[in-house]
Amino acid sequence: MIALQEVWKRFPGGPVVAEGLNAVFPKGQATALLGRNGAGKSSLLAMIAGSLRADAGRVLRHGTVSWPVGFAGAFHPDLSGAQNTRFVARVYGVDSRGLLNFVREVSGLDEAMRQPVRRYSSGMRARLGFAISMGIPFDMYLVDEVTAVGDAAFRRESSALLKARLGQAGAIVVSHAPAQLRGLCSAGAVLENGKLRMFDDLEAAISVYQAAQA
């Protein structure tokens, strides 16, 4: 479960991302996070993950929370994909060999796992980040447009794997594809001008979001 208590965030010279946000993302529920480009969805996920500090307020986390799935900014560029995977396994206390085997299979990177991550394309980094995060059991997954990378086959496989994980955990999912959200989420939230509106019904959230884009 994730709880936001009077969370504020504004970047210098930029718009307000969070203006006194109060919300609860329940355990075991997948919630779609909707909003126009630049509304602050990725920044809100980063605050929930703990990689970005709020200006004020608190983010309460009950249970284990993933980093934003697909985010690869924390990988060491001079280490190989395999070495980065082993490092993450040690940090989270999971079997490194088991995680490495899982990542090799899911990512499809094969021999590239032996190469330094600095040689990876953005798509390869996203594949690596997605595979590692799916290989670690979290209570709450944070998902930011992850299944938009890769070819059609990878997108289908990653969507299926993500859906299987969400059968056992909760999630906050950012996507601009309503069809994908309908396949993953049951509830929704719309972020606009620093305000967050929560909806128990996903269709209601999608309707509000689409009306704001018209």
CA distance 206 to 191: 12
Q: Tell me the mean pLDDT in the region 116-122.
A: 91
Per-residue model confidence as pLDDT tens digits over 55-90: 999 999 999 998 887 665 678 999 999 999 999 999
Assign 123 a pLDDT band (cuts: 50, 70, 90). Answer: confident
Whichever domain contains 151, its CATH number is 3.40.50.300
- Do 149 and 96 have their domain in common? no
CB 81 within 8 A of CB 112: yes
Q: Given pLDDT bands bounded at 50, 70 and 90, which one contains residue 151?
A: low
pLDDT for 191 beyond 80 = yes
Query: Is 60 exceeded by the pLDDT of residue 39?
Result: yes
pLDDT band at 156 (very low <50, low <70, confident <90, very high): confident
Confidence of residue 140 (pLDDT cuts 50, 70, 90): very high
More confident residue, 186 or 166: 186
* Shared domain check, 145 and 131: no
In a domain, residue 69? The reply is no
Return the pLDDT at 147: 56
As a whole number of angstroms, the distance between CA 38 and CA 93 comes to 35
Cα 45-104-50 angle, rounded to 5 deg: 20
Provide the pLDDT confidence category of residue 212 given band limits of 50, 70 and 90.
confident
Rounded mean pLDDT of 79-108? 94
Give yes or no: residues 151 and 201 share one domain. Answer: yes
Question: Residue 209 domain-assigned?
Answer: yes
Beta carbons within 8 Å of 39's beta carbon, 6+ residues apart? 17, 191, 192, 193
- Predicted local distance difference test score (pLDDT) of residue 71: 60
Looking at the fold, whether 25 and 117 belong to one and the same domain comes out as no
**In-domain check, residue 70:** no
At residue 148, the pLDDT reads: 55
Q: Give the count of alpha carbons within 13 A of 142, CB side only.
A: 20
Domain assignment present for 132: yes
Q: Are residues 130 and 151 in the same domain?
A: no
Residue 93: alpha-carbon gap to chain centroid: 21
Q: Are residues 8 and 49 in the same domain?
A: yes
Residues 120 and 171 in one domain: no
Its pTM stands at: 0.86
CA-based nearest residue to 11, from 42, 46, 55: 55
Q: What is the pLDDT of residue 203?
A: 97
**Cα separations (Å) of 23 from 86, 108, 118?**
35, 38, 38
Chosen domain end from 85, 106, 136:
136
Among candidate residues 113, 136, 159, the one where a domain is terminated: 136
Q: Say whether both 1 and 55 belong to one domain.
A: yes
Is pLDDT of 131 > 60? yes
Confidence at residue 158, expressed as pLDDT on a 0 to 100 scale:
78
Residues 58, 160: one domain?
yes
User: Which residue in 3, 46, 43 sits closest to 21, CA to CA?
Assistant: 3
Domain count, the chain: 2
Do 127 and 164 share a domain, yes or no?
no
pLDDT confidence of residue 129: 86
Please report the pLDDT score of residue 127 as a whole number: 86
Question: Do residue 148 and residue 101 come from a single domain?
Answer: no
Domain holding 189, by residue range, is 1-64+139-214
4 and 107 both lie in a single domain: no
